[in-house]
Chains A and B, each alone.
Chain A
Amino acid sequence: MKKLTTTLAALILMSSTPLFAHGDKVKVGMITTLSGGGSGLGIDVRDGFMLAVKGNKNISVITKDDQRKPDIAVQLADKMIQSDKVDVLTGIIWSNLAMAVVPATVNQGKFYLSPNAGPSKLAGKGCHKNYFNVAWQNDNLHEAAGGYANSAGFKNSFILAPNYPAGKDALTGYKRYFKGSLAGEIYTKLGQKDYAAEIAQIRASGADSVFFFLPGGMGIGFMKQFSQSGIKLPVVGPAFSFDQGILKAVGEAALGVKNTSQWSKDIDNAANKKFVKDFKSEYGRLPSLYASQGYDTGKLLISAMSKAEIKNKDKFRDALRKADFESTRGKFSFDTNHHPIQDIYVREVIKEGKILTNKIVSVGLKNHSNAYVSECKM
């Protein structure tokens, strides 16, 4: 009799142990930018995600290149949903592509886990129960930069960003937290690489600091030209112009610059240490914040799969909402609009041996959510 009860108990235990209960497979469609300009970001997200799900036999991933074009991303999403029958979509880097793909995807009952783009529309009025952002809302890092500018005692900032939705979100985010005045505000052309004219304006403006959001190659050009111009103003920006993939190309011009990020290589927790070590041994390079976002997206998916079957959408969604995974960022939870609540750090670009990288100097904003929570009616 005793034996029988133990067996029974063991059986009950086993059935509540997720590994045994849900052996169902999840098909993931990853649409990201793998060719042309900006492909470094997509490759990092993909590699981070693949590292997280490596060896998991229940997850199969189809990866496709969107070439940074909204129309191609939409075609790929249609094909993945209709003929490949994926359960979850992820991978998109750029906000304009996300705006083209996400609404249709979630309305067809699929889940979308964003490893990067977090446009304000999808956080506010356009939020959806099947859409989760594992990275940040677009404004977040800029808000932290504004907060940092106050604590650094900046009174008169010159701010610039490209003239497109995420650029406007950036300046709005900075201004939302920055208490000083503005010496100048410039929207540059998207894709612009030469900033001689803007730098001349900065020199003439009498600013005491510069905030810029110029992702990818745009930021490389700006930092190099700014340091050659001999202007000695402090610069602050979001991590996008100082991530691991870009620092090498900026060179010493970036040394000492403060930038804000939700992730850094030196965040002290076990999950992050394991991630950095595994990423290095798998791909032979240091991970970037994009890679960490891809990795966390993979880990979030695995955590939800261990709690619920994908067929049961409501339960699976609840499982996602719990965010019960070991994030590389340490503390991580979702707000009611399915965007992260997390710490945003201030980092400084340093040199480790011969490699330029970032080091945390302080916490910019603690348990930071986003400004659009109240607009989201789910």
Chain B
Amino acid sequence: MTSILFFEQLLNGVQFGTMLFLMSAGLTLIFGVMGLINLAHGSFYMIGAFSAALIAGLTGSFWLALLASLSGAAIAGVLIEIIIIRRLYRRDHLDQVLATFALILLLSEGVRWCFGAFPLFLDIPSNLNGTLPILDNLIYSKYRLFIILMGFLIAFGLYILITKTRLGVRIRAGQNDRQMISALGVDISKLYTIVFALGASLAGLAGAMIGAIQSVEVGMGEPILILAFVVIVIGGIGSIKGALIGSILVGVTDTIGRIFLPEVLKIFMEPSSATSVGSSIGSMLIYILMALILIIKPSGLFGKN
């Protein structure tokens, strides 16, 4: 196990983490500002990927497709917020979970109706195809570097938005005291719609960027949704900073764990059972991490009590 390989796996972990961040930032914002548990967040990931595949198929441009994923998911977010989600803010969490779970089923079947049950094709642009030598012995996928870069740019953008703009002030105020800011004359329902659409569009962008190297298919959002929940629990619910650090932590732990645990176990066991045991424990690692963090800090790394 060379240090070059270790560094490459570290990069893979960070890349996975930045994608998780795009998902969990929206999720944690929506929970922090509106107090809504949105299980249907993964569906926006799927909607983004399908919008991108549709536009890429029509125009052949990856960049237009990325734009389409942002706007497609944002439009879907606005519509769904106005028609359904708006009625859920005052209800308790169980109602929200039930209703947004129903949304997952509706949206998945809706997408299947429109696009069929077979996976769609979405490719990365040709100038990001291939690899880039970043160190002497280390070559790394250009597209994955692009994903890391995008992730950190968006994290920076969100930081500016939350701390330096008027909208950001309102979002922070909304997190602290919902009644007070509506009493101050802020149109709270418009603010909620904007936050929801923002979260949805980030998820949609993640879906398109990942869809291009994985697969664009119905139900693609649910596995990543579970991880996004793990991230926001680790990071502290409502905290964007927590979401960023939690994402990177989960991404790196997952990647490093599932690769190196079997290798370590091979010292004690015969190879094929070491692989099987190691990968089983490897896939549990992030949940073990979550449990440990919750024992030490019950409200997550950056959560308020």
- Residues on A lying within 8 angstroms of B by beta carbon are 34-37, 39-40, 43, 163, 168, 185-189, 191, 193-194, 196-198, 200-201, 204, 217, 220-221, 224-225, 228-230, 245-246, 248-251
Contact = CB atoms under 8 A, between A and B. Distances in A.
Contact of A39 (B112, B216, B271): B112
Nearest to B212: A224
Given A163-B276, A193-B210, A224-B215, 7 more contacts: A37-B217, A193-B214, A197-B13, A200-B9, A217-B220, A249-B118, A251-B121
Interface string B130-163: 1100000001010110000000000000000000
A151 B216 CA distance: 35
Contact of B280 (A163, A185, A186, A217): A163
B112 A191 contact: no
For the residues of B in contact with A, the DSSP-based class is helix
Contacts, number: 121
Given A35-B112, A185-B275, A200 B215 contact: no
Contact of A230 (B8, B12, B139, B271): B139
Nearest to A187: B279
For the residues of A in contact with B, the DSSP-based class is helix
Q: Which of B16, B216, B275 has the most CB of A within 10 A?
A: B275
Nearest to B124: A228
A91 to B, nearest CB: 15
A196 B219 CA distance: 21
A197 B255 contact: yes
A63 to B, nearest CB: 14
A200 B275 CA distance: 16
Contact of B119 (A40, A185, A188): A40
A276 B54 CA distance: 29
Interface of B: 2, 5, 8-9, 12-13, 15-16, 108-109, 112, 117-121, 123-124, 129-131, 139, 141, 143-144, 210, 213-220, 223, 255, 258-259, 262, 271-272, 275-276, 279-280, 283
Given A40-B118, A163-B276, A230-B139, A224 B258 contact: no
B121 A248 contact: yes
A229 B141 contact: yes
A224 B212 CA distance: 9
Contact of A36 (B210, B219, B262): B219
A168 B9 CA distance: 25
A35 B109 contact: yes
B216 A196 contact: no
B271 A185 contact: yes
Contacts of A250: 121
A246 B118 CA distance: 7
Contacts of A245: 118-119
Q: Which of B214, B218, B279, B280 has the most CB of A within 10 A?
A: B214
B257 to A, nearest CB: 10
Nearest to A33: B117
Identify the 5 closest CB pairs spanning chains A and B, nearest first. A220-B215, A249-B119, A37-B219, A221-B214, A193-B214
B114 to A, nearest CB: 14
B213 A228 contact: yes
A281 B213 CA distance: 33
A356 B170 CA distance: 52
B16 A37 contact: no
B215 A204 contact: no
B85 to A, nearest CB: 23
A37 B118 contact: no
Given A36-B108, A220-B214, A189 B12 contact: no
Nearest to B255: A197
B2 A204 contact: yes
Contacts of A40: 117-119
Contact of B279 (A188, A196, A221, A246): A188
Contacts of B143: 228
A255 to B, nearest CB: 13
